[in-house]
Structure formats: structure tokens, C-alpha cells
Amino acid sequence: MTAHTILDRPWDGFDAYLFDIDGTLLHCSDAVHYFAFCDALKALSGNPLTLEGVTAHGNTDVGILRDALALAGVADAEWRPRVIEIRTRMCRFVETRKDELCAAALPCVREVLAHLEGQDATLGIVTGNLKDIGRMKLQHAGLLDYFNVFGWSDDFEYRVDVFRSAVEQIRAAMPLSARICAVGDTPADVLAARANGLPVIAVATGVYSREQLLTEEPDLCLESFEELFRAA
């Protein structure tokens, strides 16, 4: 199981791990979160807008709104004063439809988390999701209880800052020598990990292929977590 090494240690040899949610831990086959964006964009712009032309994967929830509004020509000054109200609106939108959520853990995710938990690793989340929405997805997929560090995007528009906040939480609770590894499914995860000095495992279970992820040179690049459990 330890055939895959990352830097100077096996993949399961780190003190702490920060996992992205969508495309890394789980896949949502519903469109509840998507329609929450559409609802928020209509409230902010007065017009029906979609996420067409916006890079959602690897972005943050507020970053997605920002990019969609910029594409529609809505000035920053028109929507930024309402950002707290809109974050709340998005979370409420998902909350009232949480029975429609269809979030399923990706292959071998439970095995990876249980294995790392057995190694006494600290498990954390780094996500572009707003807190309430991310928690509902993790809960729905039965994964929430594995985690005790959370980097949500509520206070951050850029992924690099979400990562920094999660790293700071771990650093505050663990020895300075603790080694942290990031795990994500997008080039943006690789870049945000790098910017925070973290090694990163990329997994091609989201919308990006292994070949696309390899162009950002993650420290380890997997088709899926199943690779970690194949006989060496």
C-alpha cells in the first residue's frame, strides 16, 4: 500500500492532510449548488444568468459569482456591498433543498480516510465551498466526521487564501515540524498548495484528466484513490 511515494515519504506518511471536496472526496450528481449560483446571480444582477463561460472547478463560491458577474458586465461596486447577504442566501437555498442533494463518496475515499485516520493523521478540508454548503455535502456523503480542520471559502475569494487559512489552523495545533500534504482534483489545487509550500497529490476523479493535471507537476498524480490500494 505504500508503493506510492511523495517527496521523501510514502503517500500515507504525512502528519496532516488537506482534502478538496468536489471531485476529490465526492461527486454531486444533483444541481442544487448550481441553481444556488443561478439564484444568487439573478438576485445580484436582476437578470437570469448562468455559469456559462465561468471556470467553476477549482474556483471559490464567491470567486464564481465574481467571474460570472464580470462576464455579464456587472460592476464590482454594484454587488460587493451585498456579498454577505448573498452568501447567506446561497446557503439557505441549498439548506431548503438539502433533501435533493445527491453527494456520493468517490472510489476508495472512505478507505483512504480510514487508513490515514489509523495512522493518526490530522484530516482537514480545503474547499471553494461556503461552509454550510460544504458541510451539507460532506454530511450527505457520510464523510463529515473524518475531519477536524476546515478551510471554507466564506471569507476568501481566492483558493490560495483558503489553503493558507487551513494551514494556519493546523500549524496552530501541531508542532512546527508537522508535514502537511494537500489533495485535490484541479490545477488550481496544485497551484494553491504550491503557493503555500505544500506538497500535493492530484487525483483525476473530477473534470480534469491525469494528463491535464500532470502539466502542473503535482508531487503525485493518480487516476483515482483506487491506485493507492492496488498491490504494489
Q: Which residues bind Mg ion (CB under 5 A)?
A: 20, 22-23, 185
d(CA 180, CA 106): 22
Q: How, if at all, do strands 220-222 and 200-203 pair?
A: parallel
Residue 23: exposure state from Cβ atoms within 10 A (0-12, 13-18, ≥19):
buried
85 or 223: whose CB is closer to Mg ion? 223
Distance in Å, CB of 120 to Mg ion, minimum: 26
Question: Which CB sits closer to Mg ion, 12 or 20?
Answer: 20
**Which residue has the closest beta carbon to Mg ion?**
23
Q: With respect to Mg ion, which residue has the nearer C-beta, 51 or 178?
A: 51
* Least distance from Mg ion to the Cβ atom of residue 188, Å: 8
Q: Least CB distance from residue 155 to Mg ion, whole Å?
A: 19
Residue among 22 and 61 whose Cβ is closer to Mg ion = 22
What are the counts of helices (DSSP H) followed by strands (DSSP E) for the chain?
Answer: 9, 10
- Closest approach, Cβ 207 to Mg ion, in A, equals 9
* DSSP H helices in the chain: 32-45, 61-71, 76-79, 83-96, 109-118, 131-140, 159-173, 187-195, 210-214
The cell for 140 is: 450527505
Give the nearest distance from C-beta 116 to Mg ion in angstroms: 19
Is residue 37 within 8 A of residue 69, CB to CB? The reply is: no
Q: Which is nearer to Mg ion, 44 or 143 (CB)?
A: 143
C-alpha distances out from residue 148 to 25, 59, 140, 157, 199, Å: 15, 23, 17, 22, 20
